[in-house]
Chain A
Amino acid sequence: MSEDDDAELVRRCVRGDRRAFERLVLRYQKPVYNAALRMLRHPEDARDVAQTVFLKAYEHLADYDPTHRFYSWIYRIALNESINQLNGRKRVAPVPEDEPSDGPGPEQVLDAQLSGRRIQAALMTLKDEYRAVIVLRHFVDCSYEEMAEVLQLPEKTVKSRLFSARQLLRHALQQTGMTPP
């Protein structure tokens, strides 16, 4: 994905080109949806939040600072909206028992699904700020610098938070019985 393309698409959006915005939606729908999903766990909530992210982005494109990367801006909106949604829920998602998988499949697929659910459950035990850095680093593939831009924090703070988050996640996985192999 090209930052130059993003900037050009944003310029076209502001001039009223809806097709340009649609291209941005198509380009970022998957990472935005997945970031929201990892923050929230529930697909319906993630869909709602992802939709809100794009609507807010559209409404506030004039506020977007083109000296920053567009995706940093949209991921920031996604994290903030996810956290707002969590605050609105006013409940902590319980760590679920292992659930049966939907439908049959190869053993490896089932293992992967089970592993994914346990990781998601462990993620949900972290504070939002820790989950956010794990999501950005491991699910959105942001570098330290990009994470700092998204979170508007110094890179040193981001690194420190990420390192703590990993240790907490490791501990949470041990608690759910998913010890490192």
Chain B
Amino acid sequence: MIDERIAELIHADIDGCLPEARRAELSRVLLADPEARAFHGDMQRLQERLEAVADEEVPPNFADSVMAAIPASAAGAGSHAPSRSLRRVLALAAGVAVVAVALRIGGLGGEIDGTAAVGTMASPPASAPVTIDRPEVSGSVQLRQTAEALFVDLDVALHEDVQIVAVQANSSVSFSGRAGAARDRQRLTLELPAGASGPVSVRFASHGRSIGDVQLEPPVGRH
């Protein structure tokens, strides 16, 4: 059994922080004590083994995914989860444009509660719904184009606190929270500004981790 004081000398040497004044003491111990010498050798080899383990590269686009998931409000503002009733509209932007979010909520076939301006046009062109089926969120997502804006319509059950971010070109809108009681289907609408083009990426995250990513092409057709 190595004496505690000698073990400390050996570990300090391995860590490169042995004071010069104590180097001679360690040398004397290693010369005189075969057990200490063997222990020093073992620790040195362990250190070499650990040093030989290379760092792994960060997954591609990691920083981008972090930046897409953080809210646009100033850092340090604490949690951004809204009230559970979701009467609150969150306008969160990433990138260049700050855009308005229109949020409409209602149970399936239920009352519309939110901005009256949303979704009042007759049969606007819409993309085919895409299904998301995760333990945290399930339902469907589709895009709806009007003359004023592009809408991301979600018909989902949110079983956990979920953040949904819709990104198109330089614009993004997001929603955080849990809609009503668990497993109730809810309709949510996120509004992207008119004028932008290209596919829309709808990202789902829960408790800070990505849980799904849906790519949608804007619908083609007359408004």
Contacts and interface: CB of A to CB of B under 8 A. Distances in A.
Contacts of B209: 48, 51-52
The size bracket of the interface on A is 35 or more
- Interface hub of A22, A163, A169 (most chain B Cβ within 10 A): A163
A8 to B, nearest CB: 14
Contacts, number: 129
B58 A59 contact: no
A115 B53 contact: yes
Nearest to B74: A16
A162 interface: yes
Given A48-B209, A58-B76, A138-B50, 5 more contacts: A21-B70, A33-B59, A50-B62, A51-B65, A119-B49
A68 interface: no
B77 interface: yes
A153 interface: no
Given A51-B69, A52-B208, A166-B11, A33 B41 contact: no
Interface in A43-63: 43, 47-48, 50-52, 54-56, 58-63
Interface string A15-42: 1101001100110011001100100000
Interface string A134-168: 10011100011000000000000001001100100
Interface residues of B, number: 44
**What does DSSP make chain A's interface, helix, strand, loop or mixed?**
helix
B45 A18 contact: no
A86 interface: no
A54 B66 contact: yes
B196 interface: no
Interface of B: 7-8, 11, 15, 17, 41-43, 45-47, 49-59, 62-63, 65-67, 69-80, 94, 207-210
A61 B76 contact: yes
A51 B66 contact: yes
A88 to B, nearest CB: 10
Contact of A173 (B15, B17, B46, B56): B46
A154 B207 CA distance: 32
A166 B43 contact: yes
B65 A52 contact: no
18 contacts: A15-B74, A16-B73, A18-B67, A18-B94, A25-B67, A29-B62, A34-B55, A55-B66, A59-B76, A59-B78, A62-B75, A112-B52, A138-B47, A162-B11, A166-B46, A170-B42, A180-B41, A180-B46
A126 interface: no
A96 interface: no
Contacts of B51: 138
Contact of A180 (B42, B52, B79, B80): B42
B53 A116 contact: yes
B50 A119 contact: yes
A170 B46 contact: yes
Given A51-B209, A61-B76, A29 B63 contact: yes
A173 B47 CA distance: 13
A181 interface: yes
B41 A14 contact: no
